[in-house]
Amino acid sequence: MNYTTIRDFAKNSFVEKKSEFIGYISPVKTNDDAIEFINKIRAENRKAKHNVYAYILRENNITRYSDDGEPQGTAGMPVLDVLQKEGLTDVCVVVTRYFGGILLGGGGLVRAYSHTCKLAVDAAVKMQMYECFEVTLEFAYSLYGKIEYSLPEFDIKMISDEFSNNVTIKMLVKSEMYEKMKEKLLDITNGKIAITKSELKYGDFT
């Protein structure tokens, strides 16, 4: 199953009626990763009134959130809802609120937490992850033109190319495209190409 996640940590913030809302987002792989990130942000914001969080993991299909003292349903769930609407997985968001003394009301809180999460999401670089193989091709220089011309039709992602005694190309190939690509390359080179692949993995095709 293909999925969308983020590349690195990001953050953004805004102020609503003197309350500062800061959104932090990080890629996470496990429940322990998410808890570690949440605790890190809490430690950095000990004076904050609330550190609301939500996270979604592929591992065991875990989805969790917390209002952290805000009225039920006004904080954690809106943050989670943004992550779900953005189609993100293996991510954790913490929204820190420094209370400014003015109550926002239930609807105001929902809007503020949703908006802060969206700001954090938009600050991050998304990655489109696909089931794929890391494939290595090795062949003679004379075949380079044919192979270079054919590869784009298989939506590959280049990793490296090396020109020594032969040409060696390393790339990511989506799992559903691998057999078609292999068949085509063997055909156009009359079998004069070495093709090896890794175990099935996930790779970024952004």
| 108 shares a domain with 150 | no
Q: For position 27, what pLDDT does the model report?
A: 97
Q: For position 3, what pLDDT does the model report?
A: 94
Neighbours of 1 (CB within 10 A): 8
Q: For position 194, what pLDDT does the model report?
A: 96
Q: What residues contact residue 175 under an 8 Å CB cut-off, 6+ apart? A: 130, 131, 132, 133, 200
> Which of the listed residues 103, 124, 145 is the one where a domain comes to its end?
124
Arithmetic mean of pLDDT, 111-128: 96
What dihedral do alpha carbons 32, 80, 108, 69 form, nearest 10°? -30
Mean pLDDT of the chain: 94
Q: For position 159, what pLDDT does the model report?
A: 95
Total domains, the chain: 2
Arithmetic mean of pLDDT, 4-14: 96
CATH number of the CATH domain containing 144: 3.30.70.240
Q: For position 104, what pLDDT does the model report?
A: 83
Give the model confidence (pLDDT) of 138-159 as tens digits.
999 999 999 999 999 999 999 9
Structure tokens at 1: 């199953």
| 98 shares a domain with 156 | no
| 115 shares a domain with 133 | no
- Domain residues for the domain of 113 are 3-124
| 63 shares a domain with 29 | yes
Scanning the chain, the segments in alpha helix (DSSP H) are 31-44, 76-85, 105-123, 144-150, 175-188
Structure tokens at 118: 């969206």
Rounded Cα distance between 150 and 31, Å, is 42
Neighbours of 66 (CB within 10 A): 19
| 190 shares a domain with 115 | no
Q: For position 117, what pLDDT does the model report?
A: 97
CATH number of the CATH domain containing 98: 3.30.230.30
Whole-Å CA distances, 69 to 49, 51, 74, 111, 205? 9, 9, 10, 17, 40
Q: Is the pLDDT of residue 102 over 90?
A: no
| 99 shares a domain with 63 | yes
Structure tokens at 197: 């692949």
Rounded Cα distance between 47 and 58, Å, is 33
